[in-house]
Amino acid sequence: MDRIVVADDHPLFRAALRSAVEKAAPGAVIAECASLAEVQARLIEGATDLLLLDLKLSDSEGMAGLTRIRAEHPAVPVAVVSASEEPPTVRRALALGASGFIPKSAALPEMVEAIAAMLEGETWAPEVGPPDPEEADLQARIASLTPSQLRILEGLKAGRLNKQIAFDLGVTEATIKAHLTSVFRKLGVQNRTQAVILAQSLDL
């Protein structure tokens, strides 16, 4: 029996997603969440076959929720659900490890098709065409970061100090400093400020 988590802070859209899940996976156990904290609590409870994750939750916005879940639960397939349907957003989500991308404007049959495909282990996303060379280079650099390094980049963007990021990740400050050296090298930047500017441009 499939276990699926639906995360959206709008009750009406959660209901729409639930309806799509019930059609794509009859009999599935469905958990509804309105915040990233609720999602994290649900994922700890047991194996999850698919997480439908809105990019804008009460305690998370942009790609931060996706990077957090990918870092903490790398085995859980995550389908990003978003009203932001621009091609760079779709490509960015996939580059950060999403198993698919469902636009909020999608009709119910399309949502059902997407959910069914991802439950079968496939990747599903709207056709958005190839990125331009600059975007492709940026995506490749971001994709080269490990989930932990993405969490560190997220911490930098939030203005947190090394010791605060270390506390968040449960590691030593020395480990964070070592990771930062690698992050800067992979991103092609020289310092924290340049890394933050890059993270902001990516909506991390």
Per residue in 79-133, pLDDT (tens digit) is 999 988 888 889 888 888 899 999 999 999 999 999 999 999 999 999 887 777 8
Inter-residue long-range contacts of 73-78, CB under 8 Å, 24+ positions, other chains counted:
73/43, 73/48, 74/147, 76/43, 76/48, 76/50, 76/51, 77/49, 77/50, 77/51, 77/118, 77/121, 78/50, 78/51, 78/53
List for the chain the helix, strand, coil content (%; round to 5).
55, 15, 30
Cα–Cα distance measured from residue 129 to residue 148, given in angstroms and rounded to the nearest whole number:
29
What's the pLDDT at 132? 76
Domain ranges of the chain: 3-119, 133-201
The yes-or-no verdict on residue 37 having pLDDT over 70 is: yes
Per-residue pLDDT reduced to its tens digit, 138-157: 777 877 888 788 888 888 98
Is residue 204 very low, low, confident or very high in pLDDT (cuts 50, 70, 90)? low
Going by pLDDT thresholds of 50, 70 and 90, the confidence category of residue 41 is very high
Contact 11, 43 (CB under 8 A): no
Domains 3-119 and 133-201 share a fold: no
**pLDDT attached to residue 202:** 67
Domain 133-201 of CATH type 1.10.10.10: yes
Strands (E), the chain: 3-7, 29-33, 50-54, 56-57, 60-61, 78-82, 100-103
Mean pLDDT, the chain, rounded, equals: 89
Q: Give me the CATH topology for the region 3-119.
A: Rossmann fold (3.40.50)
- Mean pLDDT, rounded, for 150-167: 89
